[in-house]
Structure 1
Amino acid sequence: MDSTALREQAEAWRKADPDPTTGEELARVLASGDTVDLADRFAGNLEFGTAGLRGVLGAGPNRMNRAVVRRTTAGLARYLKAQIPDVVSRGVVVGRDGRRMSPEFAEDTACVLAAEGIPALVFPSLVPTPVTAFALLHLNAAAAVMITASHNPPEYNGYKLYWSNGAQIIPPHDKRIAAAIDAVEPANQVRLLTPAEAREKNLWREIPASVGDDYLKAILGLRVHGRGTDALSIVYTAMHGVGGTWMERAMKSAGFTRFHTVAEQQQPDGTFPTVRFPNPEEPGAMDLSLATAERVKADLVLANDPDADRLAVMARDAAGALRMLTGNEVGVLLGHYLLTQGTKRGRPHVATTIVSSVQLGQIAKDLGAAFDEVLTGFKWIANRALERERSEGTQFVFGYEEALGYTPGTVVRDKDGVSAALVFADLAAWCQSRGVTVLGYLEEIQRRHGLFVGAQRNFTFSGPGGAQTISGIMEGFRRAPPAKVGALTVVSLKDYKTGEARTGDQVERLTLPPSNVIAYELEGGGRVTLRPSGTEPKIKYYFELKETPGAGESLAQARARAEGRLQAFIDAFVTLARDRGQPA
């Protein structure tokens, strides 16, 4: 697009922008003559996918703003009326976190729904994402919208959609909703009622506090050991998010009396003043938690991300030092605990994703449980669980993805950092009652079901050429798949985009939907998986190796050897990536 056409498009958007703040922002960009910034803002519409919308706050169709939210909601409302005729009686739940612009986006969502004749069931205050997902099922609503950008930096916000089954949407809904949004009129022509008008017409209905009470009661029922203790000291951080009061209530009700919060991060604050990137996995994000834990001599540290759908865990090792558990380790611990100690009502079912550890699958096989490995994203776990419950009568026990997402049971059909934290505390109390540490329990699992070590490496490519760089790396591996990675031979290749699995000369069709993911399986049980991030300009590599301890060898020795092999494996693969187009 030439500069004249770009400026004309930007001027048309500015005139149709219902928000004076972003209208003035775009006017300043136009006046500055910064065509690079302008081109990025108008590089396309912020893509509506299976995770809804997520983007940087600002003016233009490639940003999160009120114009985008109003048009998105109008398209969604019209699609819902076509797909779910009783949506006008069931309504749509609307929740929001504590980020910048979340109140405005939630209000616009509710007011556009109301103008379309759909009751908006609105949380009057901030709520965790899993509470919004719970309310959808609890109130028998037709859908739910959560205004959140999860663990992204403070300049982001987003729009997350749940379908009537309680899970995030999957194809073909995403493409069809995107098409409905594209057909919506300019933002300043989208009809919306004022909150007062919507309330007068009974199309704005506040969700009562009893729904939150029912959520807490339901997650308390997920515990297995079921006995809190004053012997276990826990530190918790809300990471400036919305999980704080919910976790305090849950832990108090569960009987965990030595529950300490990181005061500096307990209250919601969309500027995230103590962390640049409010993700517990990011370097430095857990520093205040660690300091608090050492001060109160905590046994366990639990951390939610800002919308409380993820959980990070730190536990004491044999030397008494706090160690961050990986997402896979937390997933293996919770999965094994719920499978072996939980109540059985039919064949248990657990699930994880193609970029998570294979260990949960090994545990399920050893214990006779049903198991699924699905595409990345909790929407696939939840929808697969629902499918197997309907067709086979399985009991969904647990699902997880390595990016700190876990769901115990079926209270919420998505990842839930609040219930996962509660169940993990229950697990830790059970371990303590047995005279075993959390990491001691992990060692028991690894001795019985195998020692797996893994790591992840992310590479960010921002700017207009970032997507092209990431695409080039993926296609480079497709054109020239490696025969070896370092000293390890590649024994099979799975390309989830083409739907093919190759082992030698044999080719099989994959059953999962197409996705831009490549996985290489290596001799001895190793694996490396490549995929672009769905929400950030990153390419992600996931590495895993299996190690067999020698006779009489301690697990610590075997782990040290495995970690050395893993690092050599990672270094060799990154070198291969550079040969296929990744900048140094």
Structure 2
Amino acid sequence: MSNWEQVYQQWNSFPELDESLKVELKKMQDDPKALEDAFYRELTFGTGGMRGVLGPGTNRMNVYTVRKAVNGFAKYLLENAVNVKDRGVVIAYDSRYMSQEFALETAKVLGAFDIKAYVFETLRPTPLLSFAVRYLATAGGVMITASHNPPEYNGFKVYNEDGGQMVPREANQIIDAIKDIENELMVPVLEQAELEERQLLKWVGKDIDNAYLEQLKQITKMKEDTLNQVKDFNIVFTPLHGTANDLVLRGLEQLNFTGVDVVQEQAVPDPEFSTVASPNPEEHQAFTLAIQKGIKNGADILLGTDPDADRLGVAVKNEAGEYTVLTGNQLGALLVDYILSNTDSAMLNNARLIKTIVTSELGQAIASSYGVKTLNTLTGFKYIGEKIRQFDATGETFIFGYEESYGYLIRSFARDKDAVQTAVMAIEMAYYWKQQGRTLLDALEELYKKYGYYLEGMTSLTLKGKEGSEKINEIMETIRKSPLREIGNLHVEKVEDYRTSERMMMDTKAIETIDLPKENVFKFKLEKNSWVCLRPSGTEPKIKCYYGVFGSTREESEQTLAELKGTMESVINEIVTS
């Protein structure tokens, strides 16, 4: 009997197994492949936490894998933070299946360690959880969410006492603590009644929302007379069945943007996300209903947030009168320009822009023109949060942080990407440009003309299950062992292997050290300020290939981008089919 079969038998014979999981296991009993996929490994706990398909098994999200993760997190906190039991942990959750149940399970495991839990009474956005950690001065935080993943997923994200996601050195200690737990079925818990009786469970209401909104009001760049005016500006907003509706509407109302029309079909929390193929504002189909409403109402701008409200998409009309969804890089560049151009130049001397290594270089070019230094991090907002925390010691000033995947942070009262902050700032920025007789697309074109045509792209390949995971590893290893010397028609000047923290000059073979944490990422630096980067997703069964190009005209950049994509797709396909 193989190891996974032994684990399956342990679960199947456990007398107190959750009834719903018993039913699911019974359905799977004659499907060895499904059982193997559910039990062949433990659900991966990465730097941000874990995310997976709901169901029975060690490779699935369920009460037992959540309990095991919380047990490890509790041990980590007790060893690495002070006064943990009294400070406690704050817990929030989104609209997904089992989110509220997993939040309570988290409190039940923490209670077994005598650690107090603050649990929101109803669903809340991820950025509010980050803010709540700081506002309540807790020892950490937990967010139950799978962000924009399909309905069958849920996830468990952990936050440090600064309100940021755990970075590798912190997460590795949690992972070690989780590994010490031999049987997830036997993790001790306290029941809700006992938690409440011992005051180890405190329900959180609107107080934190109100405190967050007070901070949100301060991020505006508008002058007081403009701020106090009721704005003639038509907005369509969709929270995509998630958590953002209340805070976004209240945040806009504070700035006197009252012309907000919500897509009502998508305003109701729905774990099936029944009106969209995917609740992801990165995908244009998520804007279908918003576009219909925008056309009907003549909206100036459309906003869409993902279910846990840490990502924002924006659409505006083009010259043909059709709504165009901005990319994450485009919106990020526009925000960099708007924020810096409306900030006192004296405040920019020590200001820092933070972006990731797969984010457009246009933002850096804009920042440099204002004398603002740009810092690059690995992919993942946890690294941006870590940099902000370091600024407390260095005296540097955080001015803006973003990544290409629609994640932005304006002010650091939250330490994770924040679609609520960004929604408010994006509307303010679009209104500013409307007063100048321009759209965001007009403003973007001006940036391209001034700084050059930086264009970006991304392709992803989904490879599910055990075989898919092995194939993704094979793609990465094949390219590492035999790195390309030319991609498209561009010469490869450098290769950067973030797993070994080494940068190699292709012509001389000279080696430099990369001063960033180790991660399974491989990047080609090409001539003409272009690049290609390969990275397996940390949250989905995907391998992603990112592209960045630069040209003096749009046509030049579009042609280069197409050539890079063609080469990489051909290389990856050859490895997959071999």
TM-score normalised by the shorter chain: which range applies? over 0.9
Q: What residue is the counterpart of 2:561 in the other structure?
A: 566
Q: What residue is the counterpart of 1:583 in the other structure?
A: 577
Shift of 1:71: 1.8
Q: What residue is the counterpart of 2:49 in the other structure?
A: 52
Q: What residue is the counterpart of 1:486 in the other structure?
A: 488
Q: Is the 8 A contact 2:284 2:325 kept in 1?
A: no
Distance 1:561 1:423 in 2: 32
Aligned partner of residue 168 in structure 2, secondary structure: coil
1:426 aligns with 2:424: no
Shift of 1:185: 5.6
Q: Is the 8 A contact 1:15 1:23 kept in 2?
A: no
1:448 aligns with 2:443: no
Mean Cα deviation higher: 565-574 or 82-91: 565-574
Shift of 1:23: 2.6
Structure 1 length normalisation: TM-score? 0.94
Q: Is the 8 A contact 1:18 1:187 kept in 2?
A: no
Aligned partner of residue 219 in structure 2, secondary structure: coil
Aligned partner of residue 355 in structure 2, secondary structure: strand
1:273 aligns with 2:274: yes
Q: What residue is the counterpart of 1:309 in the other structure?
A: 310
Query: Superposed, which structure 2 residues align to 1:370-519 within 5 Å?
Result: 370-391=373-394, 393-503=395-505, 504-505=507-508, 506-519=510-523
Q: What residue is the counterpart of 2:231 in the other structure?
A: 230
Aligned partner of residue 221 in structure 1, secondary structure: helix
Cα distance 1:389–1:371, how it changes in 2: closer, same or farther (>3 A)? farther
Mean Cα deviation higher: 468-477 or 376-385: 468-477
Q: What residue is the counterpart of 1:354 in the other structure?
A: 357
Shift of 1:188: 4.4
Q: What residue is the counterpart of 1:555 in the other structure?
A: none
Distance 1:299 1:169 in 2: 38
Distance 1:421 1:20 in 2: 42
Mean Cα deviation higher: 301-310 or 105-114: 105-114
Aligned partner of residue 514 in structure 1, secondary structure: coil
Q: Is the 8 A contact 1:389 1:396 kept in 2?
A: no
Shift of 1:527: 0.9
Q: After superposition, give the CA deviation of every residue in 1:283-333 in whole Å (9 maximum; x if it has no partner).
A: 522111111111111111110000000000111223322111011001111
Q: After superposition, give the CA deviation of every residue in 1:41-71 in whole Å (9 maximum; x if it has no partner).
A: 1121111111101000000110000011112
Distance 1:348 1:582 in 2: 45
Q: After superposition, give the CA deviation of every residue in 1:169-201 in whole Å (9 maximum; x if it has no partner).
A: 012221211221222363443222222221121
Q: After superposition, give the CA deviation of every residue in 1:195-226 in whole Å (9 maximum; x if it has no partner).
A: 22211211111223111011112112111126
Which runs of 5 or more residues in structure 2 are unaligned? none
Query: Superposed, which structure 2 residues align to 1:513-532 within 5 Å?
Result: 513-532=517-536
**What is the root-mean-square deviation in Å for CA atoms of aligned residues?**
1.7
Q: Is the 8 A contact 1:519 1:527 kept in 2?
A: yes
Q: Is the 8 A contact 1:71 1:185 kept in 2?
A: no
Aligned partner of residue 59 in structure 1, secondary structure: coil
Q: After superposition, give the CA deviation of every residue in 1:251-308 in whole Å (9 maximum; x if it has no partner).
A: 1222112111111101111111111321122352211111111111111111000000
Distance 1:475 1:340 in 2: 44
Q: What residue is the counterpart of 1:13 in the other structure?
A: 11
Query: Superposed, which structure 2 residues align to 1:88-99 within 5 Å?
Result: 88-99=85-96
Distance 2:518 2:179 in 1: 24
Percentage identity across paired residues of the two chains:
37
Shift of 1:18: 4.2
Distance 2:461 2:306 in 1: 21
1:24 aligns with 2:23: yes
Query: Superposed, which structure 2 residues align to 1:338-349 within 5 Å?
Result: 338-343=339-344, 345=347, 347-349=350-352
Which runs of 5 or more residues in structure 1 are unaligned? 549-557
Aligned partner of residue 118 in structure 1, secondary structure: coil
Q: Is the 8 A contact 2:367 2:374 kept in 1?
A: yes
Q: Is the 8 A contact 1:18 1:67 kept in 2?
A: no
Q: What residue is the counterpart of 1:554 in the other structure?
A: none
Q: Is the 8 A contact 2:41 2:58 kept in 1?
A: yes
Structure 2 length normalisation: TM-score? 0.95
Aligned partner of residue 68 in structure 2, secondary structure: helix
Aligned partner of residue 355 in structure 1, secondary structure: coil
Shift of 1:362: 1.8
Q: Is the 8 A contact 2:132 2:208 kept in 1?
A: yes
Aligned partner of residue 495 in structure 2, secondary structure: strand
Distance 2:179 2:492 in 1: 44
Aligned partner of residue 72 in structure 1, secondary structure: helix
Which residue of 177, 186, 189 maps to 2:186?
A: 189
Aligned residues: 569
Shift of 1:79: 1.8
Q: What residue is the counterpart of 1:367 in the other structure?
A: 370
